[in-house]
């Protein structure tokens, strides 16, 4: 990953996680990737410590805005997306952009980030075929 400078610090990772609300690390992971109310963006520095956490509202076409959820997420320039599941269109978009899509069974954003830092998450290879997950 190309290094991102934020306040003089070199960031190692920018992770985006769909969540039920914007409460940061304590937010529950969303069951529905494309229809999640918001995305939590977690930035880690080179030693794996959390540099910043912020919420971004899902303003895709599913919520009266524009664009598909993967396109909106790619604008955030992540190198990792952690989710329970996603549809084939979203997975293809992330794969084409070189963004890792990882599967989490965690309850909260914090649990998902910790599992990621410990190398416990697997690459998302199976997709959900329900229309509500695209």
**What are the residue boundaries of the structural domains of the chain, listed by start?**
4-125
Residue 131: predicted pLDDT: 46
- Which whole-number Å values give the CA distances from 99 to 65, 120, 130, in the listed order? 23, 18, 22
Mean pLDDT of 38-64: 87
Residue 85 contacts residue 20 (beta carbons within 8 Å): no
Q: Which of 43-47, 86-90, 100-104 has the lowest mean pLDDT?
A: 86-90
Q: Does residue 60 or residue 111 have the better pLDDT?
A: 111
Give strand ranges (E) for 26-134.
Answer: 38-45, 50-57, 80-83, 100-103, 122-123
Residue 122: predicted pLDDT: 93
Buried b (16+ CB within 10 A) or exposed e, 79-89: bbbbbbbbbee
What are 9-25's pLDDT values in tens digits? 566 899 999 999 999 99
CATH number for the segment(s) 4-125: 3.30.420.130
The span from the CA of 91 to the CA of 128, in Å, is 10
Q: Does residue 24 or residue 70 have the better pLDDT?
A: 24
């Amino acid at each position: 990953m190309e290094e991102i400078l934020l306040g003089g610090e070199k960031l190692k990772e920018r992770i985006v996680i769909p969540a039920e609300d914007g409460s940061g690390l304590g937010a529950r992971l969303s069951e529905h990737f494309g229809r999640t109310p918001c995305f939590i963006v977690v930035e880690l520095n080179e030693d794996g410590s959390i540099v910043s956490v912020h919420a971004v509202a899902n303003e895709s076409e599913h919520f009266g805005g524009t664009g598909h959820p993967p396109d909106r997420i790619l604008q955030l320039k992540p190198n990792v997306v952690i989710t329970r599941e996603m549809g084939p269109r979203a997975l293809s978009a992330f794969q084409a952009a070189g963004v890792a899509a990882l599967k989490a069974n965690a309850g909260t954003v914090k649990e998902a980030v910790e599992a990621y830092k410990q190398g416990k998450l697997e690459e998302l290879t199976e997709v959900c075929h329900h229309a509500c997950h695209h």
